[in-house]
Structure 1
Amino acid sequence: MLYKFKSRSTADVIMLEANGRQLLKIIGKGDEPHGIITVAQIPAAIEALQAAAAAEEAAAREQGQASGEGTDDAAQDGDGQPREAVSLRQRAVPLIDMLRRSAAEDHDVIW
């Protein structure tokens, strides 16, 4: 399943189910297949997403310092090169942008 976030202010934002569910949980919405983030709820949603991303980054920094930066725990691509995981901030940026633009134009966001 995919989550498709829509607003009259922006193009659609499409996410895989696990990523969409994670972001909806962060902003306090259920993982229903359909829902709405009203204009009044947008500031709190943006704040929650930014706080969660900052907390994830702080935890990653602490873990990196505790385990020593050069460990081989990271996943590797087909060439044996280490891959960096996609951070919560990177996943949330398109939705945060949609929320900001929707709030500026007084439009709700639905999925």
Structure 2
Amino acid sequence: MLITFKSKSSADVLMLQDNAQPILDLLHKSPARGIITAAEAAGAMATLEQEVVASRQRQEPAADTSAVEKEDDDKLEEAKVQRVDFGARAFPLMEMLRSASANGNDIVWGV
């Protein structure tokens, strides 16, 4: 399911529910419908910033690998699989929170 975060202070932010769920859980919000008021935005930003730092400290230094077939000689080669970390997933919503807080606008979704 797709969640569309809306605010008068910035462009819409679209996220798959699976990617938005950890963010909304931290903010104690429902994915179905909700609001982050302008007054709540600064606190929500602080919560997400703390989680970004914590998630980077929990990351394992070794990258995942998976087999990828080379086109030229059918041998398998190990390739690094890039993960999208919490900070990268949360960044668009964090920017929206900054803008909403600065301009005194709410953020809504599911309406």
Tell me how many residue pairs correspond in the alignment: 101
Counterpart for residue 85 of structure 1: 83
Distance 1:52 1:17 in 2: 18
1:36 and 2:35 are equivalent in the alignment: yes
Give CA deviations for 1:59-82 in whole Å, capped at 9, x if unaligned.
11xx43xxxx4xxx6143755421
Counterpart for residue 7 of structure 1: 7
Give CA deviations for 1:36-61 in whole Å, capped at 9, x if unaligned.
0001111111011111111110111x
Cα deviation, residue 30, structure 1: 2.6
TM-score normalised by structure 2 residue count: 0.82
CA RMSD of aligned residues (A): 1.7
Residue 29 of structure 2 aligns with an amino acid whose one-letter code is: K
Segments of 4+ moved more than 2 angstroms: 75-80
Is the 1:27–1:44 Cα contact (8 Å) retained in structure 2? no
The structure where strand makes up a greater share of residues is: 2
User: Out of 103, 106, 110, which is 1:105 matched to?
Assistant: 103
TM-score normalised by structure 1 residue count: 0.82
Residue 21 of structure 1 aligns with an amino acid whose one-letter code is: Q
Could you say what secondary structure the match of 1:52 adopts? helix
Task: Give percent identity, aligned residues only.
Answer: 33
Q: Give 1 or 2 for the bigger CA radius of gyration.
A: 2
Q: In the superposition, relative to structure 1, how do residues 77 and 4 fare at CA in structure 2: closer, same or farther (>3 Å)?
A: farther
Is the 1:49–1:92 Cα contact (8 Å) retained in structure 2? yes
Distance 2:33 2:67 in 1: 35
Distance 1:108 1:29 in 2: 14
1:54 and 2:53 are equivalent in the alignment: yes
Distance 2:68 2:19 in 1: 24
